[in-house]
Amino acid sequence: MSAPRTRRRAAQEKLGHGSDDDRTAAVVDGNGSTRDAPEASDSDGDENIFLFWPNIIGYCRIVLAIASLYYMPLHPRTCSLLYSVSCLLDALDGYAARFFNQSTRFGAVLDMVTDRCTTSCLLVFLSSAFPRWAIVFQGLIALDFSSHYMHMYATLVVGGSDSSHKNIDKSQSWLLNLYYTNKIVLFVFCMFNEVFFIALYLLSFSSPLLSPHLIKSVEETSGGQIQPGVPVNTSLLRQMFPDPFSAAALEIARANKMDSTLPWIITGISFPIMLAKQIINVVQLVKASRWLAEVDIKSRKAKGLNKKARKA
C-alpha cells in the first residue's frame, strides 16, 4: 500500500474517534489533508407532524363535527349525514397512518379527543331532547371520558412513553385485548355505538312516543292536532313562525313527515352492541384503576412508605 494512501486511511480512522455530539464532520481531499465541513443543522430534516395525512383527516373530522352541531337543533337529516361521515373518517385515519407510516402520539390523542367530544355533544343534545333520561346520558358521558382517560394514563405509566393504549396483553385482559387488537371488532363496536345515538336523535324528531312535546307544543299553540306523517300547512306555520317559508319552519314541516320505523329498527339492532360497549368502558376503567394501584404499591415499597404506614 502506498504511503499517501496509508496516511489517508490513518486520517480517516482518527476522525472516527470521539462522540457524535462533539465531533466535527471533516472532508479528506485528494492530497490526504483534512478540512472541516459545515455542520448539518438539526432542523434541516424536521417533519411537520401537524400536516401528516392522518392528522389532516382528523382536522376534517372536527370541521364536519362542528357543522353537524350547527345543524343539530333543526336539521336532522343534514346533521346525521355530517356526523356519520365524521365518524366513518375515524376508520380512514388509521389506514392512512399505516399506509404512509405516519403514526404519531399527537394523532392518537387527536383521534381519541375528537371521538370523546363529538359523542359527548350528541349526548348533551339527547339530554335536552329526552329530559327524563338526562341522568343516563350524563352518566354515559362521564363513563366515556373517565374510562378512556384512566386507560390511556395507565398504559403510559405502566408501559412508558413509547407504549400505545391499544397494546393490551391477553394476560392483562382478554376482553380489552380483543377489543383493541381486532380491527373488525373495534370498528363494529364503535360504529354501532354511534349509530344507536344517531337513531335516538332521529327518533326525537319523528317519534311522538319518545318526544310527545314536539307535537304537544303545536297542539297547544294552534288548537289543532297533528299526526306523524301528515304534512303541515302554511297557515299553521304562520302561527309558529313569522315567516312560514323560513328554514326553521320548513324543517319543522319536514320533521313531522319523518317516518320513525327505520330509526326504531336501527335502535333495536344497535342497542345490544351499544350496551356491550358501555360494559367494555366499565371493564377498562376498573382495569386501569388496578394497574395504577399496582404501580403505586410498588413505588411505595421501593420508598419504604409501606413500612412507615404500618408503624403509624
- Show which residues are catalytic: 115
- DSSP, residue by residue, the chain: --HHHHHHHHHHHHHT-S-TTTPPPEEE-TTS-EEE-PPPPTTTT---GGGSHHHHHHHHHHHHHHHHHHHTTT-HHHHHHHHHHHHHHHHHHHHHHHHTT---HHHHHHHHHHHHHHHHHHHHHHHHHSGGGHHHHHHHHHHHHHHHHHHHHHHHHHH-TT--TT---TTT-HHHHHHHH-HHHHHHHHHHHHHHHHHHHHHHHH-TTT-HHHHHHHHHHHS----TTPPPPHHHHHHH-SSTTSHHHHHHHHHHH--SHHHHHHHHHHHHHHHHHHHHHHHHHHHHHHHHHHHHHHHHHHHTHHHHHHH-
Q: Which of 163, 78, 85, 76 is nearest to 125 (CA)?
A: 76
Q: Say which amino acid occupies 94.
A: G
CA 102 to chain centre: 17
Q: Which of 131, 98, 102 is nearest to 210 (CA)?
A: 131
Could you tell me the three cell numbers for 99?
A: 399506509
Q: Which residue has the cell 309558529?
A: 240
Could you tell me the three cell numbers for 112?
A: 381519541
- CA quadruple 301, 303, 305, 311: dihedral positive or negative? positive
